[in-house]
Chain A
Amino acid sequence: MILAVAGGKGGVGKTTLAYNVAAALDAVVVDADLGMADLPGGRGPDLHDALAGAADPIETLRAGPVDIVPCGRTLAGARAADLRRLEAAVAAIERARGTVVLDCPAGRRADAGVPLAVADACLLVVSPRAFALADAIRTRELARELDAGLVGCAVNRVTEEPPTGAIADALGAPASVVPADPRVGRSVVEERPVVDTAPDSAAAAAVRELARRVPG
């Protein structure tokens, strides 16, 4: 099972949700944001190297509370990365580890589209602002064209009651509300997924609910 976490707009919390949903699914999370990596890096080969044909995708796995395939942080690496290798690389990780969560970049360029093309399903992240929803709708169209079925959408960092009904209607998938919680915000940098650190929190419940929507 390959799940893409996408959203069109930057800064809505795709990486944070990808990391935490991966924790709930006991999955590997791949930092597919080739130009602006967000997940913790580390020594050793990363996704840039795998996509440049310089490393075996399995070698890029980095163990942690959630296993991560980090992405390089150099522009040269982003240029050298060949997206045509992504499908085979992700498939190799899926064969070895089961479920894979792809943290997709913002935008509608090839680096955002190819992970959706590679994925079996996608999860859209929107912030409660209207302009984020517009980007999410465009990404939903892209996902539909590329055959990544939409399993749900996350309305992230909610501080007051959002129009979930309207968002679910616009995106055509059930919307889950992920309340603003500083533990979620810190979870990626500290590598402490919220389902582990605060399993009884509303945020952890929302993450588990999103994970339950993922088939297989």
Chain B
Amino acid sequence: MDFAWDVDREGDVSLVRCRVRNDDAVPRRVRIESRLDAPVLPPRRGGVAEEGWDEGGVTLRLAPGERRALGFAARAQPADPPVEVAEVTAVDPVERPGGSSPTDADDGAASATAAALQRLGDHRPPRDAVAGTADGMSKRGGTDDSDPQTGPNSPPDDGVESPGSSAAPASPSGEAEWFGAVDAQLEAVEARIDRAERLTDADVATATEVVAEVDGVEELSGLDERVAADATRLRALSERASALAARAEATDAPVEALERLA
């Protein structure tokens, strides 16, 4: 890292200029800190401090061979040296918030896009927000397993997710997820019914056991109503599901014949 500085006194303000050059063959992130005894007054445009500056100094990202000139002011006596390079770290040249690069994106032409992505926060809604909706789709990163909505047929994580049920509501993976969610719901209902069954005509020992399992009798309040509601809903669902199953079995769409004709 090639580094030079210069300091001027103007009234009670010190004006510091410096020049930094990355003489390595790889991109570097450089932290330059003020040693003056007052907060850094960073360069501003239209009243907005430039990117990378804070009270202590500036953090820059320098491409190989890149040279940058900087300046700031501070209400303090000049010091010698007024600035120092506090930290130099290597930067992964392909480091991007979006993860791996899509196969068909034009990397060279997308440099302005890459710069915007690097500098700005991720726009995507949090995964938890997506998982909470009915059409929750596949996830990124290694925490996928914790998500109950991830079906076994979820697409593999490659940083680019499939377009979701908005585009393909009847896609096989969407359907698998839907059935997965239904299964999860049915399991929750089953757990409630189990509990209610064990409490039906139960002796004191069994009842005590169930109450202990759920951390106190308050947890059981409303169980009878909920199980009754479960019964009504399950009955309706079962009637509709069996009617649909019967209709599904009765169909015989001549798709192959149509395809031959087409």
Most buried by B among A87, A108, A109, A140: A87
On chain A, the residues within 8 Å of B124 by CB distance are 78-79, 81
Whether B127 pairs with A79 at a CB distance below 8 angstroms is: yes
Chain A residue, CB-CB nearest to B139: A79
Whether A84 pairs with B117 at a CB distance below 8 angstroms is: yes
On chain A, the residues within 8 Å of B125 by CB distance are 35, 75, 78-79
Minimum C-beta distance from A148 to chain B (A): 9
Interface size on B, residues (CB 8 A): 44
Interface size on A, residues (CB 8 A): 49
On chain A, the residues within 8 Å of B51 by CB distance are 145
Chain B residue, CB-CB nearest to A34: B123
Please tell me if A12 contacts chain B, counting CB pairs below 8 Å: no
Contact partner of A109 (CB less than 8 A), chosen from B112, B123, B162, is: B123
Seen from chain A, the residues whose Cβ lies within 8 Å of a Cβ on chain B are 34-35, 45-46, 48-49, 52-55, 72-88, 91, 105, 108-114, 116-118, 137-138, 140-141, 144-147, 170, 172
Seen from chain B, the residues whose Cβ lies within 8 Å of a Cβ on chain A are 45-48, 51, 96-98, 101-102, 104-106, 109-110, 112-117, 119-125, 127, 129-130, 133, 135-137, 159-167
Question: Can you add 13 more A-B contacts, CB < 8 Å, to A113-B117, A141-B48?
Answer: A45-B167, A48-B164, A49-B163, A49-B166, A54-B162, A75-B133, A77-B164, A80-B160, A82-B160, A85-B102, A109-B121, A118-B113, A137-B47
28 A-B contacts, Cβ less than 8 Å apart?
A: A45-B167, A48-B163, A49-B167, A52-B160, A74-B133, A76-B135, A76-B137, A80-B160, A81-B124, A82-B105, A82-B160, A83-B123, A84-B98, A84-B105, A84-B113, A85-B102, A87-B110, A88-B104, A110-B116, A112-B120, A112-B123, A113-B117, A114-B120, A117-B115, A118-B112, A137-B46, A141-B48, A146-B116
6 tightest A-B contacts by CB? A111-B123, A80-B161, A76-B164, A113-B116, A76-B137, A54-B163
